[in-house]
Amino acid sequence: MALLRETRPEKLNVTRFSKRPGTDAAEMKGLGGTIKKERSKAMSDLKLDIVGEAYEEMVGEVREDVLVVEDGTADSVKCRDGAYRQIIVQNADDHGIEIGDFVDLEITGQNTVYAFGEPL
């Protein structure tokens, strides 16, 4: 957890350890489900805090050459910037934005795991 607080990675896969037959770890004494669950939740919560702060810091910035990668809900599209951060553009049809386009966006808000962008 200290390493996560220090390095602040924006991408992190939190997976609980489970023994696999035929591995050295299969013979190890386990921690028990409750401890693993508590630790997993604590790490997931920290991950969301770190990611939320990163997206909050983006608000007000301009991201250039953001790639539109897929349709979102309603009339929105999902985009990825150069750091693979997800940015949602709403009302994509009104802006003539389609999958495969590169767009310049002003980041107008965030929702912990993605940002909202407005085309420039």
Quick one: pLDDT at residue 31? 72
Quick one: pLDDT at residue 26? 81
Question: Contact 40/14 with Cβ under 8 angstroms?
Answer: yes
pLDDT along the chain (120 residues), means of 10: 95 84 81 85 95 96 97 95 96 95 97 95
What CATH number was assigned to the domain covering residues 62-119? 2.40.50.140
Quick one: pLDDT at residue 17? 76
Quick one: pLDDT at residue 94? 94
The pTM assigned to this predicted structure is 0.80
- Domain ranges (residues) in the chain: 2-58, 62-119
Quick one: pLDDT at residue 25? 79
- Cβ-in-10-Å burial (0-12, 13-18, 19+) of 102 comes to exposed
